[in-house]
A and B are shown apart, each in its own frame.
Chain A
């Protein structure tokens, strides 16, 4: 069955019209590929959760567990990489659709032959920044774990709610408008082969920093919520709505974070009645 599907795909792919359409689509709307990458990630996440027998949540091994549980450095690095996978999947699924303007800027700044490579360089730089942010947040979670050790489970269960509350509060902080405006950042790129890739990579890293500065708190909240798929999907829709459809100084997103915080508070309170940490669905794993 799998081989048959693969064979059919190769046949379709080789059709000249299809090949030319794919190429033309990328040339005209380079951001369409970034959306496709995001869509593929979403499909995989939902497939893993509902069809392949996984969970709607993905857990991070705690850094503390990793350090004390690892047999050697290699083991630690493997565990660390595995723990960053859900984070990076989340970045691709949620953040890539927000990059229309930047991907188009990179693609149209370069000769046609360099466009795809330039966009890939940009995305690599962008992802690298987010990877660093993710590692930092893992460390933060480890610190929180240590601080909350021995405390009532309700503290841990309410962490996503607290993080979304913080995200909502930041929406009313005047500096956030400036940061939101910076999301449109553009940089002049060289057009000669490796220099164009270097510039695109550099641009991606800077854009990653600008994005992380604005969006790290809701992303962190989702990390605390074990990348709950439904919440991720909701947050993604809110972010896309804010990015493309409303003025950047709008406070609507703040109300959305407040609602999600209320939802997590409700869950945390519910979990109290069920007793025991195992019954709490959104606590930080230790």
Chain B
């Protein structure tokens, strides 16, 4: 059984990254028409012939083959986790076969990047093996990354506290129930943070699903996301994978290391020890999925849905700096206002509240935005009032009507319950108004833009 190891805990003299680099170089030398080539593997996640990162890709496979195997990544859906697990498994099989071909170890496994490890002072940095260009000869380096280090807000693990796998408002851990969904709509908890924020913070190829898998760090990032799925399951307390046949039996197509067309179902990836020879994660015990009958059959939707309390429908283009708006809570129905008053009086009782950003459309890779509520001093971005961060991963594709998108854009859900409860206990709390500030954490690239169609507050 192979073990995927923490890239920051590889023992001295370990050759995992060395062989990874050799395999990447070898795969990059293969033509794009070869399913085991670097470009082909990248295009399975996303592809855009007009994007500069794909400039050297042609000649391409026939259209029919592209339609069947390219641009298949699953986002904003309950297939996000299982699809990426399959994708990584076949990619790892291909890399392993190249490593063995080149004379490397037969037990090579993809390492993971645990950026949330607070005991490691370097955890937030992209591992050095990936950041030194070595005059452009380092296969693990790619030009265009905007940041080589993440921030602690990007890698928060609050999503592990979400118990239901499925849901949108409130969020499920794994995403909402959909059919095949390449992008667009609300994200699952883990997908939103840290997944999206890591992608967008690093930027460049990583910031866009159409190019993300061309960056070698992508695979270590997703190995970590895959590991966190196992961590979540191991936490127990009602955390279970979906038991619906529409999830378990859904199959996705890939190529294996021998270039054969293969397919895999979600049910086949529930136990990592049985996937293509099996693997485990360093420090994370693997366990068999619970029997079907033992699974809790109560997804998030089974609870009474939250109610919209206030909404702002003016389309807000977000710029480089600050965008302010206020939600008029006074327009809420009397009953809702009464609820809010109850919440104000009983701040010690946790109440759910979510800020929903809908129809977020745009292009390019906009920077990460921080969202603050009721900032007392408009000039200071006090972290105490930070509701969360938004990384618009996949915004361009989700905003453009095409083969995989209706053009409605993406959605972001921020759990603002704890912050609102805290704000309500303050003397200056205004029951009729909630001010929202969106602050760009970086410069807006020239070829990027972003706007929000509706911002609304949902409460119990």
Q: Which residues of A contact B (CB under 8 A)?
A: 24, 27-29, 108-113, 177-178, 181-192, 243-249
Contact = CB atoms under 8 A, between A and B. Distances in A.
Nearest to B179: A244
Given A24-B304, A178-B401, A249-B403, A188 B179 contact: no
B326 interface: no
Given A109-B308, A111-B307, A113-B333, A187 B359 contact: yes
Given A177-B403, A178-B402, A246 B454 contact: no
Contacts of B313: 188-190
A181 B359 contact: no
B215 interface: no
A188 B401 contact: no
B406 interface: yes
Contacts of B26: none
Contacts of A28: 301-302, 304-305
A193 to B, nearest CB: 10
Given A184-B406, A185-B408, A111 B180 contact: no
A186 B358 contact: yes
Counting chain B CB atoms within 10 Å of each CB, the highest count among A110, A183, A189, A244 belongs to: A189
Interface residues of B, number: 35
B407 A182 contact: yes
A118 to B, nearest CB: 11
A270 B332 CA distance: 65
B311 interface: yes
A248 B333 contact: no
Given A188-B453, A191-B456, A248-B180, A181 B404 contact: yes
B15 interface: no
B59 to A, nearest CB: 20
Given A111-B308, A113-B333, 13 more contacts: A111-B309, A113-B335, A178-B401, A178-B402, A178-B403, A181-B406, A184-B184, A184-B185, A184-B406, A185-B406, A185-B408, A186-B358, A246-B180
Interface in B30-68: 67
B169 interface: yes
Given A111-B307, A188-B453, A191-B456, A181 B402 contact: yes
Chain B contact surface mostly: mixed
A154 B102 CA distance: 68
Nearest to B409: A186
Interface of B: 67, 169, 179-180, 184-185, 246, 301-302, 304-305, 307-311, 313, 331-333, 335-336, 358-359, 401-408, 453-454, 456
B106 to A, nearest CB: 36
Contacts of A182: 401, 406-407
Contacts of B304: 24, 27-28
B180 A247 contact: yes
A264 B180 CA distance: 32
Nearest to A243: B179
Contacts of A112: 307
28 contacts: A28-B302, A28-B304, A28-B305, A108-B305, A108-B308, A110-B308, A111-B307, A111-B308, A111-B332, A112-B307, A177-B403, A181-B402, A181-B406, A182-B407, A183-B406, A184-B184, A185-B406, A185-B408, A186-B406, A187-B359, A188-B358, A190-B311, A191-B311, A191-B331, A246-B179, A247-B179, A247-B180, A249-B403
Nearest to A112: B307
A249 B180 CA distance: 10
B408 A184 contact: yes
A25 to B, nearest CB: 11
A245 B79 CA distance: 13
A110 B356 CA distance: 13
A181 B406 CA distance: 5
